[in-house]
Amino acid sequence: MTPLEPPPDVKARLIVALDVETLGDAERLLDRLQGQVIRFKIGSQLFTAAGPAAVESVHKRGAEVFLDLKFHDIPNTVAGAAREAARMGVLMFNVHASGGRAMMTAAAEGAAAAAKELGVKYPVVQDNDFSIWRRYRNWAWPAAVIVDKKGVVRFTHIGEGAYSEMEQLIRRLLLEP
């Protein structure tokens, strides 16, 4: 392992946000982090600019995608979006709990239908009871929680911003033994 290469368990816990304006910007960041990061977040800005090509670009580099589009619509539309996200092969995606139980159930069913087509055994994790939120003492959205390789929460931020502070911490954590 080189000094810049994080331990494998850190790689599995880290998700780097591709919060950039263009697919070209994303690809430059992907190339720069290739081999060091295996999971990337694609949010609304990049997905609106580049569409599924952004997901394909991450996959071509052997990495996984968290599709952060916060689906929120009528249940049938969210089910369709969930189905398509699963067909694109994303590791995970999110839905807004404020859409209600019917919408969240439709999303789970849509993802499960696509997963069945693709032979994926366990496709859906729902946090209807907010147990994951509570585990990390999260009571707001959006929130960023950075957890180190030992599972210790090292940073929490509520709301937008703190991007450079988070990046600096992530860089430090990647270098920790």
Task: Sort 77 into a burial class: Cβ within 10 Å, 0-12 / 13-18 / 19+.
Answer: middle
The reply to whether 70 belongs to the active site is yes
What's the one-letter identity of residue 8?
P
Catalytic residue among 11, 41, 60, 70: 70
Q: Which residues of 41-70 are buried (b: 16+ CB within 10 A; e: fewer)?
A: bbbeebbeebeeebbebbeebebbbbbbbb
**Which residues, at least 6 apart from 52, have a Cβ–Cβ distance to it below 8 Å?**
88
Q: Which residues are catalytic?
A: 70
